[in-house]
Structure 1
Amino acid sequence: MAVDGDRPVGSHTPTSGGLARAALPYADAAASEVVQVYVGNSRGWAMPDGDPAQDVAFRDGCAERGLRAYIHASLLVNLGSPTAATVERSAATLAHALRRGRAIGAEAVVFHAGSAVDDGYADTAMRQVRESLLPLLDAADAAGGPMLLVEPSAGGGRSLASRVEHLEPYLAVVDWHPRMGVCFDTCHAFAAGHDVAAPGGMTATLDALVAAVGADRLRLVHANDSRDGCGSTRDRHETIGAGMIGAAAFVELMAHPATAGVPVVVETPSEKHVGHAADIATLRRLADGPAGLATVRHASSGV
């Protein structure tokens, strides 16, 4: 279990077959300290009630293990859409995720910043963000439930927030609500043009994030390498150290003051093959600094 100042590490965790039945053994096998889950179809609008017995078992199992839990909302959520039905469904999906978060003991719900889609729609899109999020944030504040964490996108498509400096107007539009935080995704940042692969690049990007929103808004990190180059606007994750970002950048990530005590979740393709245990172990080694980096490089060389 992580101590104060450490970065607890875990992964996005499968739930097929039952929230507790699937997620807890997976977390155990990966030696996770954090779990992130979907509570509905990741690419659909379904809002299932969940199984109360599984909810209790998951919540109790996380407490027993010291696991910190997070929810990722449906990838369809777009509060900036020019289509009214999409905005309504997006707000309803976030409300559902917040309810489910209270039931399972999740600390926060992650959602993508969204896109204005059409030229000239950005101002209206940001008004929609305000009108949709403020009631949800106020309700979460009153209920003591999970926070909402906005995750900048990989860029392109008239995104409302992709680069970290875009987070300042995004949070300002909801009056810097205390229940609103940020989830920083390394692959998204790289795709959006932050050269986190360059020496000092990850540090500079996190410095810029703190300058934009302050030191206390970063509440979750998605640590993902990238299959594509800087500025590609393509969100294709790769195993830690095996992509275009490279292992050294994650040493900077795990050492930056802004990430102290902030949970780190991997969403790499490893889940589909052998599980996330290796990615989690790699990040923990990289948290040891240059010595850890040397160990990771030695292991990857097969020597």
Structure 2
Amino acid sequence: MDTHPAPSDPAGRTGDGAGDGRPPLVVGCHLSVAKGFPAAADMAARVEANALQFFPRNPRGGAQRQVDEAERDRWFRRREEVGLRYVIAHIPYTVNLASPKTEAYEFARRVLREDLERCRWVGADAAVTHPGSYVEGDPADGIRRIVAAIEPVLPLLEEPGAPWLLLETMSGQGSEVGGRLEELRAILEGLGWPARVGVCLDTCHLFAAGYDWRDPAAVERLVEDVDRAVGWERVQALHVNDSKFPCGARRDRHEKMGQGAIGRAGFANLLRHAKLRALPMLLETPIDGELDYATEIRWLRDLDRALAAET
């Protein structure tokens, strides 16, 4: 397979993540900014998160809430005070960059630009999006539409303070694009390997697509496959979710940490791998309320400490 240009790695990932003295996990969760970004930072502190993911607008795709300079200034101060090391936006699930339907496609293109501009305004490190669903016909047509939707925002990603745009790995259910790493590679190739377009891995999605976290050899194969397909430097974030369904089921249903099919053994293998452990981790597990994330974050950190004690 031919080589691909490597982008810079502004996440500043260092250390091999193995043995005593390794850096602490960068781990957080998806929190609401409906009451303001400073309130989201307060909640991150309450659940002991040092990373945060948010929707730039209603997840069903409604209008963005206005964020004035005063709120932004308070947010920047609070982010620093509570020690948030990574902030990422999730573009709404209703956005379909591969849609063959004109109205849905134009909506997706508009939201993509607006949400990337919002990310820059609030200093987010990245924005992650599902690549999209081609709905019918040839998957290659969907990939071409994704490329055409992203191309107009590439100049925005080159501006000072711009976020990364991350394509999420998917479970491969139905007509969604991204269940195969080769599909993400095809998008990046079509875009000409831009410096700030990368990938967000998702543990549940990859498990559903056939990568078994419970098998150390499969975890190593995943890392090698990602490196060959897109270049590891483009992997900037990791969604950490257990799975309600077995490996290879191609069904996307998240479960609480350690309570699904991936289980303790699978996440232990993830944390034992230096490259995976170094990624910012964002939880999207099912919860009744945001304070429940404290238990999920604690579970992951306790597992990491237990593994360190074994070495």
Task: Give TM class, smaller chain.
Answer: 0.7 to 0.9
Counterpart AA for 2:134: A
Aligned to 2:101: 83
Matches within 5 A, 1:95-244: 95-120=113-138, 122-244=139-261
- 1: CA distance, partners of 2:55 / 2:290: 19
The structure 2 residue matched to 1:63, chosen from 57, 68, 80, is: 80
> CA offsets per residue over residues 184-229 of structure 1, 9 Å max, x none?
0000111122222334333322222122111201100000001111
Asked whether the equivalents of residues 206 and 256 of structure 1 are also in contact (C-alpha less than 8 Å), the reply is no
CA pair 45-175 structure 1, distance change in 2 beyond 3 A: farther
| Identical counterparts, % of pairs | 34
2:28 matches 1:10: yes
The Cα shift of 1:28 comes to: 0.7
Q: Distance in 1 between matches of 2:134 and 2:140?
A: 9
- 71-80 or 250-259, larger mean C-alpha shift: 250-259
- Say whether residues 1:93 and 2:111 are aligned partners: yes
Q: Equivalents in 2 of 1:118, 1:150: separation in Å?
A: 21
Maintained 8 Å contact 2:50/2:83? yes
Give the 3 Å change call, closer, same or farther, for CA 252–289 of structure 1 in structure 2: farther
Give, in whole Å, the separation in 2 of the partners of 1:284 and 1:173: 39
2:97–2:132 CA contact under 8 A, matched in 1: yes
User: Does the 8 Å CA contact 2:185/2:230 hold for their aligned counterparts?
Assistant: yes
Distance in 1 between the 2:280 and 2:105 partners? 29
Secondary structure at 1:216 match in 2: helix
Counterpart of 2:82, as a letter, is R
CA shift for structure 1 position 51: 4.3
Q: Residues 109-143 of structure 1: CA distance to partner in whole angstroms, max 9, x if unpaired?
A: 010011111023x2332222122112212222134
Could you tell me which residue of structure 2 aligns to residue 34 of structure 1?
51
**Contact 2:181–2:226 (8 Å) recurs in 1:** yes
| Structure 1 partner of 2:292 | 275
Q: Deviations over 1:135-190 (max 9, x none)?
A: 21222213431110000222122222113343221221211110101100000111
- The alignment yields a C-alpha RMSD, in angstroms, of 2.3
Judge conservation of contact 1:229–1:244 (CA < 8 Å) in 2: yes
SS state at 1:196 partner = coil
Could you tell me which of 276, 280, 295 is aligned with 1:263? 280
What letter is aligned with 1:221? L
**Structure ranking higher on relative contact order (CA contacts 8 Å, 6+ apart):** 2
Code of the residue aligned with 2:120 in structure 1: it is R
Distance 1:55 1:20 in 2: 8
- Counterpart residue identity of residue 137, structure 1: L
Q: Deviations over 1:56-91 (max 9, x none)?
A: 222221122331211001111111111111111111
Letter in 1 for 2:197: M
Separation of aligned partners in 1, 2:281 and 2:301? 10
5+ residue gaps, structure 1: 294-303
Alpha-carbon deviation of 1:279?
1.4
Please name the residue that 1:247 is paired with.
Answer: 264
Contact 1:154 1:192 survives alignment (8 Å): yes
Pair 276,169 (structure 1): closer, same or farther in 2 beyond 3 Å: same
Q: Which segments of 5 or more consecutive residues in structure 2 lack a partner in the other structure?
A: 1-11, 16-22
The farther-off stretch of 267-276 and 87-96 is 267-276
Secondary structure in structure 2 of the residue aligned to 1:183: strand
Q: Distance in 1 between matches of 2:304 and 2:184?
A: 27
Whole-angstrom CA distance in 2 between matches of 1:164 and 1:216: 15
